[in-house]
Structure 1
Amino acid sequence: MLHWALNGPHRVENYDVRNVSLTTEHWTDEIRCSYAMNYGNGVLRRDVRWQPRSRNTSGPAFWAKAGLTAAYRFSGVQKKTSYQRLLSYRIDPRAPLGRRLLDEKDRVAISI
């Protein structure tokens, strides 16, 4: 079994074989607290322009951020972001490595 720590760096190398990846998500109380703290810090930095210094996952500052996180998420005021990606290949089982590169004129932009 492989495991990467939360927010830990990792790298996947696909050589000349087909690979299947399965991603699962597991939440513990510690992870929930860390998520709330990071999300709250992000809201404070981005929307309030304040640089929080604390990364504590307990105490009054943490609970204030957890409350901010909950209120912000459930209020619906967060900005919905979409990304565009330019597809440069298509899946093609007959092609080498199972994909076919697209010419510049055939590339397609998709919104994610």
Structure 2
Amino acid sequence: MVFFASVAQPFRAASAQQNPNAPQNFIKVTGPVIALTHARVIDGTGAAARADQTLVIRDGSIAAVGDAAAVTPPAGATVVDLTGRSVMPGLVMMHEHL
């Protein structure tokens, strides 16, 4: 049994690196401050979508959301222009079999 465990360990590590659902596979932009500009925001509450919004993400949390004309990306932020695109809450584990 010890032999099996020692042989299985490399396979477990390899499968973790190849996990198609790993968060790193879905993150395209990283940095301490990210500004998503000119996005259409769907907040998931059932309210109407809001056009031309800027979202400021600081250390992985949303720090500000508002009209692009009113919310200015902070100095040094990584700015991503999302004109013509939408931002909405992440849909996580929407269909899982445990």
Q: TM-score range by the shorter chain?
A: under 0.3
Q: Which protein shows a greater Rg?
A: 1
Whose relative contact order is higher, 1 or 2, with alpha carbons under 8 Å and at least 6 apart? 2
Structure-1-length-normalised TM-score: 0.22
Structure-2-length-normalised TM-score: 0.24
Greater helix fraction, Structure 1 or Structure 2: 1
